[in-house]
């Protein structure tokens, strides 16, 4: 098959994946609605919810599965659909890579394509560790949005790699950046849920009753922290590998190029987040807000900085 045919099939895959994700999104929404309609039972026991003074914040012990906490049919089918969509998505990514005869993340379209795939992948695999299906709406919604925006606004044909990108660091630096983005996305979803949950626990937002079926805010905060810390480590590597590559390609390891500025800003925001988690009075809402600002900066860095700011990272291909 020629490059064009493979790229066209890849695009078919992208549209199919987006359609399947959309179906999953609807089911996850129905699931949340259902969670709201069943009788609100107290959320899982929060052990240490009062541990403000003793530093012992631990997650609740896994609650025994009861009828009320087990995800319903919609969530299970939604999750299965997400997995199916992801399989198609991965196939589309692979086809794009085969068509281009290189890694499929050399321009903005491909970065968005692969990045969305990683976000969904992180979500799917994180569910092997903890039941995070209540985030399904957030993740599949984000995936559909990003895939549609990417194919509509960022699509470029397969073109050969410009000499500036022709480096092993393209594989490493960008892949690590995408992985970090995936973890930050999941972390942001958890932090947003945590903020909502906190409001509900404080007696506001009583009507958003689907929250009674998701973990308590302290558990959510701990989960978000664990996910974001992995994102932070990956981002640290992104920054370092980027610096090493910049030294090879541009002759300096750090030059405050606009993209470098934002990568630095994101790193510092998440460093602040980690410190906030260890500072009295900054746990809970302030640290969650920092994590969300951090992920917003990641999205800003990928979209606005790439397209509207001048700099050396001019790889959008647009």
Partner 1 sequence: MASFRPSDHIDSEPAPAELPKLGAVGFARFLWRQLTSMRTALVLLLLLALAAVPGSLVPQRSSDPNGVLQYQARDPEGFRILDSLGIFSTFSSPWFSAIYLLLFISLIGCVIPRSKHHFDALRARPPKTPARLSRLVGYTSVENPVDAETAVVTARKVLKGQGYRVERYGDSVSAERGYLRETGNLVFHTALIGVLAGVAIGGGFGYNGQRLLIEGEPFANVLADYDSFYPGPWVDSDTALEPFGLRLDAFDSAYEFDQNAGTWHPTDFEATMGVRERGGEWRAESLKVNSPLEVGGTQVYLLANGYAPVVTVRDPDGEVVFQQAVPFLATDGNLTSGGVIKVPDGLSDQVGMRGFFYPDAIALDSGALTSFSPNITENAVLTLLVYRGDLGLADGSGANVYSLDTENMEEIAGREDALALRIGDTVDLPDGMGTISLDGVANYVGLDIHHDPAQAWVLGFALTAVGGLLTSLFIPRRRMWIKVLPDGRIEYAGLARGEDPGLAAAVADLARAHTDALRAPRTTNIG
Q: b/e per residue, 105-136, with b = 16+ CB within 10 A?
A: bbbbbbbbbbbbbbbbbbbbebbeeebbbbbb
The stretch near partner 1 (CB under 8 A) out of 19-27, 58-66, 71-79, 174-182 is: 58-66
CB distance 213 to 138 below 8 Å: no
Kindly state the smallest distance separating residue 186's Cβ from partner 1, in Å.
16
- Closer to partner 1 at the Cβ: 91 or 247? 247
Cα 78 from Cα 62, distance rounded (Å) = 23
**Residue 197: DSSP 8-state:** H
**Which residue from 65, 204, 252, 307 is in contact with partner 1, where contact means CB under 8 A?**
252
**Which residue from 254, 307, 314, 318 is in contact with partner 1, where contact means CB under 8 A?**
254
The stretch near partner 1 (CB under 8 A) out of 38-46, 101-109, 144-152, 271-279 is: 271-279
**Which residue from 5, 129, 149, 264 is in contact with partner 1, where contact means CB under 8 A?**
264
Residue 161 binds to partner 1 (criterion: CB under 8 A): yes
**Which residue from 91, 265, 296, 299 is in contact with partner 1, where contact means CB under 8 A?**
265
The stretch near partner 1 (CB under 8 A) out of 66-74, 178-186, 190-198, 265-273 is: 265-273
**Which residue from 77, 229, 296, 299 is in contact with partner 1, where contact means CB under 8 A?**
229
Please, which of residues 22-51 interact with partner 1 by CB under 8 A? Answer: 47-48
Cα 275 from Cα 271, distance rounded (Å) = 6
Residue 272 binds to partner 1 (criterion: CB under 8 A): yes
Crossing angle (nearest 10°) for helices 136-149 and 73-100: 30
**Which residue from 253, 284, 285, 303 is in contact with partner 1, where contact means CB under 8 A?**
253
- Binding residues for partner 1, rule CB under 8 A, total 67
Q: Comparing C-alpha atoms, which of 145, 127, 157, 300 is closest to residue 227?
A: 127
Q: How many alpha carbons fall within 13 Å on the CB side of residue 241?
A: 17
The set of residues, in sequence order, having a beta carbon less than 8 Å from that of 240 and lying 6+ positions away, is none
Q: What is the dihedral of CA 297, 85, 175, 234, to 10 degrees?
A: 60
Cα 82 from Cα 23, distance rounded (Å) = 8
**Which residue from 194, 198, 217, 222 is in contact with partner 1, where contact means CB under 8 A?**
222
Residue 276 binds to partner 1 (criterion: CB under 8 A): yes
Residue 237 binds to partner 1 (criterion: CB under 8 A): yes
CB distance 315 to 163 below 8 Å: no
- The token pair at 40 is 């609100």
- CA distances to 41, 149, 193, 198, 263 from 204, rounded to whole Å, are 17, 35, 14, 9, 36
- Closer to partner 1 at the Cβ: 39 or 53? 53
Residue 129 binds to partner 1 (criterion: CB under 8 A): no
**Which residue from 50, 53, 152, 203 is in contact with partner 1, where contact means CB under 8 A?**
53
Give just the sign of the alpha carbon dihedral 46, 44, 282, 235: positive
Kindly state the smallest distance separating residue 10's Cβ from partner 1, in Å.
16
Residue 261 binds to partner 1 (criterion: CB under 8 A): yes
Please, which of residues 162-191 interact with partner 1 by CB under 8 A? Answer: 162-164, 166-167, 169
Phi, psi of 280 (to 5 degrees): -60, 135
Site residues (vs partner 1, CB under 8 A): 4, 47-48, 53, 55-59, 61, 157, 159-164, 166-167, 169, 222, 225-226, 229, 232-233, 236-237, 240, 243-245, 247-258, 261-262, 264-265, 268-269, 271-272, 275-283, 290, 305, 309-312
């Amino acid at each position: 098959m020629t490059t064009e045919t493979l790229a066209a099939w890849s695009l078919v895959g992208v549209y199919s994946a987006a359609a399947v994700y959309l179906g999953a999104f609807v089911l996850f929404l129905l699931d949340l609605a259902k969670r709201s309609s069943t009788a609100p039972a107290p959320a899982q026991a929060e052990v240490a919810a009062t541990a403000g003074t003793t530093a012992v914040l631990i997650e609740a012990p896994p609650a025994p599965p009861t009828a009320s906490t087990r995800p319903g049919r919609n969530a299970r089918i939604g999750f299965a659909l997400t997995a199916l969509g992801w399989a198609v998505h991965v196939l589309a990514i692979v086809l794009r890579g085969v068509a281009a005869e290189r890694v499929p993340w050399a321009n903005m379209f491909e970065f968005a394509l692969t990045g969305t795939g990683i976000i969904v992948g992180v979500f799917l695999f994180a569910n092997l560790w903890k039941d995070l299906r209540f985030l399904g709406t957030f993740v599949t919604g984000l995936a559909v949005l990003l895939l549609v925006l990417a194919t509509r606004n960022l699509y470029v044909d397969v073109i050969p790699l410009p000499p500036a990108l022709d480096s092993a660091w393209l594989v490493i630096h960008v892949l690590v950046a995408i992985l970090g983005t995936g973890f930050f996305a999941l972390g942001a979803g958890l932090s947003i849920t945590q903020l909502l949950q906190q409001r509900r626990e404080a007696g506001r937002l009583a009507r958003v009753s689907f929250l009674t079926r998701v973990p308590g805010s302290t558990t959510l905060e701990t989960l978000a922290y664990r996910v974001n810390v992995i994102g932070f480590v990956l981002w640290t590597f992104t920054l370092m590998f980027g610096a090493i590559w910049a030294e090879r390609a541009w002759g300096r390891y750090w030059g405050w190029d606009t993209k470098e500025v934002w990568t630095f800003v994101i790193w510092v925001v998440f460093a602040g987040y980690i410190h906030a988690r260890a500072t009295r009075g900054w746990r809970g809402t302030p640290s969650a807000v920092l994590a969300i600002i951090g992920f917003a900066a990641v999205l800003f860095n990928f979209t606005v900085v790439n397209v509207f700011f001048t700099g050396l990272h001019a790889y959008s291909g647009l």
